[in-house]
Amino acid sequence: MNEKLKYLKDKMRIDAQNVCHDLVQDIIKAKKEFKKQSVIVGLSGGLDSSVVTVLCVRALGKDMVKALLLPDSESSQMHLRDSFDLIRELGIQWAVVDITPFLRDLKIKKYGFASKIPFQNKIKGFLFKKAYQYYQSISGETPFALKLKGQEGTPYHNYIQRGQAILQAKNRFRMAILYYFAELEGRMVVGCTNKTEQHIGLFVKYGCDHFADIMPIIGLYKTQVRQLAKYLNISNHLIEKEPSPDLLPGLDDQTIIGLPYEEIDLILLAKENGLPPEEISRLLGIALEQVAYVFDLAYYASFLR
């Protein structure tokens, strides 16, 4: 194996025990600095929020941790079940606030009567995924990349902008509700964004994945979060299931971004270590245009950061 490639893969591996210890201490220290006795976490049923919730329990004990579930009518029932499974396993406090009424108050037509019919999410998921892939094929860009770069003049940009406005409103409502409960109950808000999401802009500006009092795993790439999850004995189901922002049926992270995290993380790590795109492409065996795409995401996401 090439020495540089071996270096990158070795650097991507973490000492999970030491990382866990350091993050637990960070949470304890932050609690003291914020002068709070307890914390609240927006639990989505995904891996990142599950890891953060377990870290908070290790740091503060189960009685000091509350999970807030913030679904809407398009949220995945699987993610909700996974959230409740973790809540029962940890024995923590919890609450659920359905944000659908807030979205209806924005006069968003899609949140009318039809949104109450559960089976429609499967149909929507199929159609949304096909539409996303079709748009990518006619524009040469993912809607995700165009959101970062700017969409003016691209095909159907008015429809894309409207859809993004609706989806991003979900995360902004979630952030506001998290802080409402935190301030009402004297808690610290603990966020769940990881390093990969932060660097490529896979978060909503002023949303619950952008604002929090602390973000314990923001220094870990997604593949490193998985390593930590294994150490924390989080279920294989959560570790292996397809990551998804759960904003729209049918759109998981890989569909949205266009690349798996295993490739994105190595590209970002190589970039962080000063390697140019051409060398990264050669080292990792990934097409140069895909490497350049990740570089572009990191560049255009800088205004979000």
Tell me if residue 66 falls in helix, strand or coil: strand
Enumerate domains of the chain plus CATH numbers.
3-303 (3.40.50.620)
Q: Which of 181, 244, 168, 248 lies closest to 208 in space, CA to CA? A: 168
pLDDT tens digits for range 239-282? 999 999 888 788 899 999 999 999 999 999 999 999 999 999 99
Instruction: Judge whether 173 and 102 are in contact, CB under 8 Å.
Output: yes
Q: Around 66, how many Cα atoms within 13 Å sit in the side-chain half-sphere? A: 19
Amino acid at 20: C
pLDDT value, residue 10: 92
| CA Rg value for the chain | 20
| pTM of this prediction exceeds 0.85 | yes
Instruction: Judge whether 252 and 125 are in contact, CB under 8 Å.
Output: no
Q: Which residues contact 271 (CB under 8 A, 6 or more apart)?
A: 280, 294, 295, 298
Tell me if residue 204 falls in helix, strand or coil: coil
Q: Around 64, how many Cα atoms within 13 Å sit in the side-chain half-sphere? A: 17
Instruction: Judge whether 176 and 97 are in contact, CB under 8 Å.
Output: no
Token pair 């964004």: residue: 193
pLDDT tens digits for range 180-208? 999 999 999 999 999 999 999 999 999 99
- CA geometry: angle 142, 146, 149, nearest 5 deg: 140
Residues of the chain falling short of pLDDT 50: 112-114
